[in-house]
Structure 1
Amino acid sequence: MAASAGKKEAAWPLTMARYERLEKLGEGINGEVFKAWDTEDNLIVAVKRLSGSGDDGFIISGLPEVMREAMCLGACRGIPSIVQRRATCVAACQREATDSFIVMDYVGRLNLRGYMQRRVRRRRPFSEDEVRRIMKQLVEGVTAVHAVGVLHLDIKPENVLLDDGTEDRKQKPKKGTVEADVRGELKEDRIVYKIGGFGMSMKGRSKRQSEVTILTPYSAPELLLHSCEYDDRVDTWGLGCIMADLLSDTGVSTFDGESDIEIMAKVFGIVGTEGIKEWSGYSRAAAGQKSKLPGGRGISRLRHKFPSCKLSGAGFEVLSGLLESNPEKRLTAAEALQMPWFHNRRRGFGGFFKSCVVGVVPET
């Protein structure tokens, strides 16, 4: 659940006095993020406030949760495509419920969700080359995260931030300018995509993990079944969802739904149920969760949704490999990065025309 709109913002403690709050950038399930001015370093930063009480409408983040997120961000220090942590502020005494703060580099004024919606409003669909460029950066980032032993567990467009290099982080902005910045023009050929939102992340892996109880339209099928048998390929499923969103040109999630059952219906209605039923962990999933799988044909309709005129064969190899419902057959981030699609040159007009002619034939 999110905080109610228009509620009074929580006051910052004296330990955060060096950070002058400028504007609210957004919020998630466990806190909110602000654009702030670091008065000591004379630099724009992003400050994430994590709720310590829950009485403000956010899910409580106690010391263990805060330190887990900080530890994961610390493990990702130096990875260019990851939002970098600058400081963590927690109360010295945890006997009373208090807010915690994570200070991070300020990346940019827009996230990938906002960018997709902007392109929809302007009737500018993403070309396959643009999707390839975005996905390569994201796959490289997730590959690096996994290499240091971190699972992100919340890969989605809202957690991808855009930096086009146009904002001066050493110049203190005037209050009330964030909304104007969001509507401003982007240097699209210079955009760098950085992954943030490590609130659900964890470091270290075992055969049986903690159950992920907060599910979204970007949650992998094994998580939708409430299985504790998962690995870093839950993140590559999220990458596949983002790729599908970019190709769909709707600005909303491909698997959007108001409940777990609705999300499952969307997911398995497109990728089919054959794959997940072949997964070795399927037999150990709770019967009550498996009963929520939609009936009907179990084959994938993914190619029908993204025909050849929309996505080349090499691109579809990546999309279908990321959106493989059987996690044992799903591409890892490192494997996806080696796929030919990421190394192909742009198709010429003749190749594009040929693919569109082929694409008019319905695929089964």
Structure 2
Amino acid sequence: MLAACAGNPAVVRLREVARGRGSDMHDLHLVMEYVVGRSLHDVIVSRRRRNGHHYPFSESETRRVMAQLLGGVSTMHAHGVVHRDLKPGNVLVGSEHGRLKICDLGLARSVVVPPPTDDTDPEGTPGYMAPELLLGEKDCGTPVDVWALGCIMADLVAEQPLFPEEDLCQQLISIVNLLGIPDDVSLMPLGVSGLSKLRERVPEERLSPAGFDVLQGLLEYNPKDRLTAVAALKMPWFAGAKDD
């Protein structure tokens, strides 16, 4: 998967594969570029803990981060690679230029290879798993990465993660409660509103209407309605990225 992403500036670079020596000669080691800096998760947490106050990313900072991540993911998808575990902890932030590098492709899959038939449990990190993964769908493709990017975007501008639960069932309930249910999806008389509460969690003083359009498109409940990474980068919000 790393080899397929070669040349993508937003994905950590694979330098070579090295064989161990002596008793470890049958072990293979991936040698990757070294990124001096912290993970995006560490950066977000440090802002939340600074002097007991929360300092979310500004809209221009968020736009720069998302432009890099969407650009990197769009190239991955173009080469048939789905990361399947995108989260702030799997994004490295270079300390010198702030260049982002997506890493840890341990759960990545190719879109041209069918999922294993013995795959029984959903894989990923709670809080960033798309609804279709939580519902047990096996043949999940690129939209799961787009959903995760939406969760990361919300992490940057909101006071806390959208879905902090560790329990997958509870996370699905939280998704339904936050985003509502489309009119064409029936949950019987369960009292679930079709109205989204996403704007309440990410108010306009933190994210403009143009930015919210991107966030909302990344977090569409139905994967068929979700933006692609390429389409997201063409949204009006990114037109001002060069001016940031």
TM-score, normalised on structure 1?
A: 0.59
Which amino acid in 1 is paired with 2:49? R
Q: What are the within-5 Å matches in structure 2 for residues 127-142 of structure 1?
A: 127-142=58-73
* Alignment-derived partner of residue 271 in structure 1: 179
- Asked if structure 1 preserves the Cα contact closer than 8 Å seen for 2:12 and 2:33, the reply is yes
Q: CA deviation at 1:230?
A: 2.1
Say whether the 8 Å CA contact 1:76–1:82 is kept in structure 2. Answer: yes
The amino acid of 1:233's aligned partner reads: P
Distance 1:345 1:136 in 2: 8
Report sequence identity in percent: 40
Please state whether the residue corresponding to 1:344 is helix, strand or coil.
helix
Deviation at 1:295, TM superposition (A): 5.3
Per-residue deviation, 1:90: 5.8
* Alignment TM-score, normalising by the size of structure 2: 0.85
Query: For residues 89 and 269 of structure 1, do their structure 2 counterparts lie closer, same or farther at Cα, with a shift above 3 Å needed?
Result: farther
Pairing 1:72-83 to 2, within 5 Å after superposition: 72-83=1-12
Matching residue within 170, 192, 197 for 2:99: 192
- Which residue pairs with 1:4 in the alignment? none
Aligned pair in 2 of structure 1 residues 163, 228: CA closer, same or farther (>3 Å)? same
Q: Compare relative contact order (CA 8 Å, sep 6+) and give the higher one, 1 or 2.
A: 2
Q: Does the 8 A contact of 1:274 with 1:298 survive in 2?
A: yes
Deviation at 1:213, TM superposition (A): 2.4
Read off the aligned partner of 1:301 and give its amino acid letter: K
- The CA deviation string for residues 294-340 of structure 1, in whole angstroms up to 9 with x for no partner, is 85223211112212222111001100000001100000001001001
**Displacement after TM superposition at 1:346 (Å):** 9.5
- Mapping for residues 108-187 of structure 1, pairs under 5 Å: 108-122=36-50, 123=53, 124-165=55-96
> Which of 192, 212, 226 is residue 136 of structure 2 equivalent to?
226
Question: Could you say what secondary structure the match of 1:87 adopts?
Answer: strand
* 1:345 CA drift (Å): 6.5
Give the total of aligned pairs: 232
Where structure 2 has 5 or more consecutive residues not aligned to the other structure, the ranges are none
Contact 2:179 2:195 in 1 (8 A): yes
Tell me, yes or no, if the aligned pair for 1:273 and 1:298 is still in contact at 8 Å: yes
Task: Say what the alpha-carbon RMSD is for the aligned residues.
Answer: 2.7
Confirm or deny: 8 A CA contact 2:48 2:56 kept in the other structure: yes
Structure 1: 5+ residue runs without aligned partners?
1-71, 166-189, 279-289, 348-364
Q: Which amino acid aligns with 2:173?
A: A
| 1:231 CA drift (Å) | 1.7
SS across alignment from 2:105: coil
- What SS is found at the alignment partner of 1:242? helix
- Offset at residue 132 of structure 1 (A): 0.7
Among candidates 109, 114, 117, match of residue 202 of structure 1:
109
Aligned partners of 1:249, 1:145: CA distance in 2, in Å? 30
Query: How many Å apart are 1:89 and its aligned residue?
Result: 4.1
Asked if the contact 1:277/1:326 (under 8 Å) is kept, the reply is no
CA contact (8 A) 2:40 2:92 kept: yes
After superposition, residues 239-278 of structure 1 pair within 5 angstroms as 239-250=149-160, 253-274=161-182, 277=185
CA contact (8 A) 2:74 2:230 kept: yes
For residues 225 and 334 of structure 1, the distance between their equivalents in structure 2, rounded to whole angstroms, comes to 26
Equivalent-residue separation in structure 2 for 1:137 and 1:257 (angstroms): 27
- Kept after mapping to 2: 8 A contact 1:222/1:229: no
Within a 5 Å distance, the mapping from 1:11-30 to structure 2 comes to: none
TM-superposed CA distance for 1:205, in Å, is: 3.0
For residues 211-250 of structure 1, what are the alpha-carbon distances to aligned partners after superposition, in whole Å with 9 as ceiling and x for unaligned? 5622421011110101123221110101000001111133
Q: What is the aligned partner in structure 2 of residue 282 from structure 1?
A: none
For 1:237 and 1:296, the matched residues in 2 are separated by 21
- 1:319-358 residue pairs with structure 2 within 5 A? 319-344=215-240
SS of 1:73's equivalent in the other structure is coil
Distance 2:15 2:242 in 1: 39
Does structure 2 conserve the Cα–Cα contact (< 8 Å) formed by 1:221 and 1:276? no
Alpha-carbon deviations, 1:172-222, whole Å to 9, x = none? xxxxxxxxxxxxxxxxxx31111011000012336x644562242101111
Contact 2:57–2:157 (Cα < 8 Å) also in 1: yes
